[in-house]
Structure 1
């Protein structure tokens, strides 16, 4: 009986510690999401919002992979469909083509957990340089076509110039 009485407080302490750690992780995740949503400018950096809950249409061939500057809703709808999910952040990010345009990065379909990371957008003379990293991870039982959709204010115009860093 004494052993049980001694282990109950220890178990409660461990549970409380795990719950506190979980809350810290939730805060960190919330902070990360906010940071990804609006990138702050540094030097010639161009701020953008990372749009959520869209996917590349299945009818779009792999020959359309790469970077695209999209300035109209019709052109956007040719490539993408909304992917609403349950929950408070489940709606696709609204896009106002009167005030902003889209820089879309579409990568090749892969079963190696593909991601697009480390995105940077900056003004270089008359051009807009977009740098990003394509990362292939663990093998999975299904294929995914990663996409990053950046919403950029119309005040930042120029032809796109890209630099891709691949990492396996």
Structure 2
């Protein structure tokens, strides 16, 4: 009887230590596309999060911005294997950057957590700030954004 009590006590301790809540959150790898700009024909009054799955759809919003130097060519995007998550800001005369804090898959959703960094100095020109994330289609899902 004493052995049975020790066995039950041992099992209870073991199961209480291993019964942690399982999460179905998976970190999603991505790369950033460089040397693209948002075309002036694009209009929005708020920050837009867009999922883009084709070159045609991408070309409607973005143009290539080739610069001189070894890293001057726009990043090649293979839409047969990848899709784009684009963060597009509103027109501003301040230097603005999107800081991606986290990109995870939760069930059938891709959750993008980001912050906006805006300089206080005003420029003599306006821009449409953007961040372009290249994501493998194996991590497909509905895009949900979380501004921090």
- How does the TM-score come out when normalised to structure 1? 0.69
Give the whole-Å Cα distance in 2 for the aligned partners of 1:150 and 1:57.
17
Residue 51 of structure 1 pairs with residue 33 of structure 2: yes
Q: Which residue of 2 aligns with 1:127?
A: 109
Give the whole-Å Cα distance in 2 for the aligned partners of 1:137 and 1:110.
11
Q: Which residue of 2 aligns with 1:75?
A: 57
- In structure 2, list runs of 5 or more residues that go unmatched: 1-24
Cα distance, 1:120–1:164 mapped onto 2, change above 3 Å: same
Q: Which residue of 2 aligns with 1:158?
A: 141
| Bigger RCO of structures 1 and 2 (CA < 8 A, at least 6 apart) | 2
Residues 108-147 of structure 1 mapped to structure 2, 5 A cutoff: 108-139=90-121, 140-147=123-130
Q: CA RMSD in A?
A: 1.5
Structure 1 stretches of 4+ with a deviation exceeding 4 A read none
Q: Which has the higher strand share?
A: 2
Indicate if the aligned counterparts of 2:46 and 2:90 stay in contact, CA closer than 8 A.
no
Q: Which has the higher helix share?
A: 1
State the 1:63 CA deviation: 4.4
- In structure 1, list runs of 5 or more residues that go unmatched: 1-42
The number of residue pairs the alignment matches comes to 123
Indicate if the aligned counterparts of 2:100 and 2:112 stay in contact, CA closer than 8 A.
no
